[in-house]
Amino acid sequence: MCMKTIQSFPNQIIFDKILNLHNIIGKNYDYAGYDDLKLLYDINKIFSNNPYGEIIDRTGQTKYPFKVHIRLPWVIPTKPIDLESACENKVKEIATTNPDQFYIYWSGGIDSTLMLVSFLKLIDHNKITVILSNRSIGEYPEFYENFIKNKLKILTLSDDIPKDNGIHITGDPADTIWAILDHSFMEGEAGAYLYKPYQEWFIYRGANDNFLEKTNEFMNRSGKTITTLFEARWWYYLNCKSQSKCVSITSRFNINKNYCPFYESNDFDTWSFYNTDRMIVGTDWKTYKLPAKEIIYKFAKDKDYLLNKSKDYSDDPITQLNKTPLVFRNTPLFITDDYQQPILSSGFFFSENIYKQELYETYKHLFMPT
């Protein structure tokens, strides 16, 4: 028995049922004896009316009712690094595995384009396969025409992707290093608080003094002074949400160990740590992720893209998944540190009795009832 910890639990409702079967009382991060975990969920609700995705505290200072695997523990940076160097270091790191082929998932967005540019600068183009969709092309058609079409091998999301060959590289968890700004947050009430003390927005959302005191303790774990709502959002999502985004490809495409979330590294954490003031200029949406666009411009020489491209949400993998009949959409109950993805014989439908019969004994050592 190799697995020792859990790194992801894609369906919170079902995972709560599993926790209850292992005598862990509660639901939705509100478990008896785990107040610090509940705090992180409550902070999430202050940032979002509809929070989703697992909450994994990378600092390791939050207790969980199961044995949690932290993929990339938070390390407080001590020396700055520029974004282009962080990208180049990541490509070189991946290249040391000497894969037969680099399968790069290109959505057409800023982050995946920066990722692809980084590989095009350093890797033999014959070893690069771009996985894309019509939406990818539509988001950045000029780049597709100039650097991908008839120049690189291409697969679409509907093709038979060789999941067991080479290495599969996604642009995860890029948004977390940029504070996951979105239109609903920027254009809603929170936008007016972006550069004000974060406590003002928290109080507006119902936080009391005790909650603010505990939140301040959480913010201090970052290793830097967190003052504004923007900085608080940056720290929360970088620390608590990046792991869920890194692991999502395993359940979306059933790819296990031979994948790599490009933006998961200490270098990207470091760049993000020192550059929260460069992620967006004021509230000008076209300047969001400008440092990434500047690197892309050096390669593609597309001035219109540099000046006018803004963040778009690329949901092709989710769209593709949603077109799959329910009988084939068997999301794993959880994902262990060695990438086991247990699924019940009942498939899409969770049965407590079947779980007890098929999986309870095998995985009970992963759960820790209070």
Query: Averaged over 309-337, what is the pLDDT?
Result: 61
Stretch (H or E) spanning 265 = none
pLDDT, residue 268, reads 98
Q: At which residue do the structure tokens 């239109």 appear?
A: 183
Stretch (H or E) spanning 110 = helix 110-122
- pLDDT for 8 beyond 80: yes
Amino acid at 248: S
pLDDT tens readout for residues 137-180: 999 999 999 999 999 999 998 898 888 889 999 999 999 999 99
**In this predicted model, which residue has the larger pLDDT, 326 or 244?**
244
pLDDT, residue 328, reads 40
Mean pLDDT of the chain: 91
pLDDT, residue 320, reads 46
pLDDT, residue 322, reads 40
- pLDDT for 323 beyond 60: no
- pLDDT for 325 beyond 60: no
pLDDT, residue 95, reads 97
Query: Averaged over 187-208, what is the pLDDT?
Result: 95
pLDDT, residue 49, reads 86
- pLDDT for 370 beyond 70: no
Non-local CB neighbours of 99 within 8 Å, separated by 6+ positions: 127, 166, 167, 258
Query: Averaged over 120-124, what is the pLDDT?
Result: 98
pLDDT tens readout for residues 30-89: 999 999 999 999 999 999 988 888 999 999 999 999 999 999 999 999 999 999 999 999
Query: Averaged over 332-339, what is the pLDDT?
Result: 92
**What tokens were used for 154?**
């291409």
CATH superfamily assigned to domain 83-177+250-321: HUPs (3.40.50.620)
* For the chain, percent of residues with pLDDT exceeding 70: 92
Q: How far apart are CA 124 and CA 322, in angstroms?
A: 35
How many C-alpha atoms does 318 have within 13 Å on its Cβ side?
5
The closest alpha carbon to 261, from 341, 167, 183, belongs to 167
- Neighbouring C-beta atoms of residue 49, cutoff 10 Å: 10
Alpha-helical runs (H) found in 96-191: 110-122, 134-139, 141-143, 174-177, 183-186
Query: Averaged over 105-122, what is the pLDDT?
Result: 97
User: How long, in residues, is the chain?
Assistant: 370
**In this predicted model, which residue has the larger pLDDT, 49 or 280?**
280
Helix, strand, coil share (%) of the chain residues, nearest 5? 50, 10, 45
Domain residue limits, the chain = 83-177+250-321
**What tokens were used for 182?**
């979105």
pLDDT, residue 254, reads 67
Asked whether the beta carbons of 110 and 305 are under 8 A apart, the reply is no
Q: How far apart are CA 240 and CA 336, in angstroms?
A: 18
pLDDT, residue 234, reads 98
